[in-house]
Amino acid sequence: MTAAESATGSQVWRLRALCLGIAVVGLGLDLATKQLALANLDPARPIPLLGGVVTLQLIRNPGAAFSMGESFTVVISIVGIIALVGVLFWFLPKLRHTGWAVAIGLLLAGILGNLSDRLFREPGPLRGHVVDFIQLPYFAIVNVADICITAAAVMIIWLTVITKVSPAGVRLEDRDDAGDE
């Protein structure tokens, strides 16, 4: 019997609750920090912190990571919606592993945080600019949603490549071995 088969209904719901709880907390932090940045930061006056290791620099980004695709804001918004639907309908029903629940919760927080900007900020629906304000040296200016997406990506790579476990809690070697029989 696999871990996925032995998971009880209550365990599955706990994992989904963990995932969605992380998504809600991450989204809340993203939205709150963006509001604080908009209320307190002047784009013309960056604020260096920790000896310049981190700088608070307010920008509005119409593109994707590193401001790429600035003229494709609508396409980026649609891709975000597709990613959100994919995560909700492909990953969430399969969750049977705590690590994957955390990773998918972080991914949902990041997708929802940036998508909310694209849907509800100027210049309008699907064309909204994402609020970014955390700058590391020689790197892009990011926000909490971006940090959540990056952390999720690292966790997903770790879970897939190092621990070799699927979202369903099945060891990937076990699944490969079953296909060889």
Give the DSSP per-residue string, the chain: --HHHH--HHHHHHHHHHHHHHHHHHHHHHHHHHHHHHHH-BTTB-EEEGGGTEEEEEEEESSSGGGTTGGGHHHHHHHHHHHHHHIIIIIGGG---HHHHHHHHHHHHHHHHHHHHHHHSTT-TTTPPEEEEEE-TTS-EE-HHHHHHHHHHHHHHIIIIIS-B-TTS-BHHHHHHHHH-
Instruction: Give the residue numbers marked as catalytic.
Output: 132, 146
